[in-house]
Amino acid sequence: MSDFVNNLFGWEVSDPELVDDTVWQDVYETYVNDPSMKEWFKKNNPNAYQSVTARMLEAVRHDYWKPSEDVVENLAKEYEESVAENGVSCCHHTCGNPLLHEFVSGTVSVPGYAEQIETATKTKDLETTETQSSSGSHHDHNTGNATVVPKTSSSGNQTSQDSSGGYGTDTSKPEPEVKKSADTDYVEGYEMQKDSAEKPENNGVSFSGSDIFGILFVVVAAGGIYLGIRKK
């Protein structure tokens, strides 16, 4: 039943025109305004009853449902009485919802409600603080110290040593040796030179487009002269 009311609120948020006030009123009459149902909730699952009334109050607070003042006051009274008698259920829309607390406190005032809210809030904050502190101390204890061993003249490798006295694995390659002469400005090594990109010589005969056109013109002209001589 609590899941049904939560899902109804979800539909209301997704599409406010999908759920009208008559639906919320029917839910109120069924779960809150029915004495036998209210008594059943208190005996079997007061936390579910608290969640239902809180969710209906949230619908009112967000203006999704606009019931009469008597309905709002009765919902607020039922919710505060449930908290005062059974403690805060601490579902996601009750314990950590200061806006709901402010809303119901401005409507009715039930003795013991504010104290239960304050106790639940302090307990929740304390648990969060202890969790963060435990996580931080655990991180500190797991932090190891490392010592870097200087390079030796033979290999030039670096080796790490942890706090337990063991040595790690070499992770660096030997540094290349560079020979230097007595003159510090002179460094012995390889010299990089830029090769010129020269085109290879072509010994073959090549023709361009204009050369081919000229040859064809000469052949045609010679043929025309030859035909003219024969006709004469």
Residue 137 forms part of a structural domain: no
Residue 114 included in any domain: yes
Over residues 81-88, the mean pLDDT reads: 91
214 in a structural domain? no
Indicate whether 182 pLDDT > 90: no
More confident residue, 224 or 37: 37
Total domains, the chain = 1
Tens of pLDDT, residues 29-68: 999 999 999 999 989 999 999 999 999 999 999 999 999 9
Select the more confidently predicted residue: 79 or 164.
Answer: 79
Binned at pLDDT 50, 70 and 90, residue 26 comes out as very high
Q: What is the pLDDT of residue 56?
A: 97
pLDDT of residue 124: 54
- Rounded Cα distance between 54 and 60, Å, is 10
Identify the burial level of 42 via C-beta atoms within 10 angstroms of its C-beta, where 0-12 means exposed, 13-18 middle and 19 or more buried: middle
Q: Is the pLDDT of residue 103 over 50?
A: yes
Residue 152: the pLDDT is 43
pLDDT given at position 168: 45
**pLDDT score of 211 more than 70:** yes
Structural domain includes residue 182: no
Contact status, residue 5 vs residue 27, Cβ threshold 8 Å: yes
Higher pLDDT, 109 or 160: 109
Q: pLDDT at position 204, please?
A: 56
Tell me if 143 is assigned to some domain: no
Q: Residue 11: pLDDT band by 50, 70, 90 thresholds?
A: very high
- Give the end-to-end CA distance of the chain in Å, rounded to a whole number: 121
pLDDT in tens, 130-176: 455 455 544 444 444 434 444 444 444 444 344 444 444 444 555 55
User: What b/e string do you get for 147-183 counting C-beta neighbours within 10 Å, with b at 16 or more?
Assistant: eeeeeeeeeeeebeeeeeeeeeeeeeeeeeeeeeeee
Whether residue 48 contacts residue 32, with contact meaning beta carbons closer than 8 Å, is answered with: no
Residue ranges making up the domain that contains 100? 2-132
The stretches of the chain forming alpha helices (DSSP H) are 2-14, 21-31, 35-44, 46-61, 69-86, 98-105, 113-141, 209-231
Nearby residues of 85 by Cβ (< 8 Å), 6 or more positions away: 46, 112
Residue 24 in domain: yes
The answer to whether position 211 is within a domain reads no
Residue 72 has pLDDT above 90, yes or no: yes
Q: Is residue 183 part of a domain?
A: no
Token pair in block for residue 32? 């809150």
Tokens of 185: 């400005």
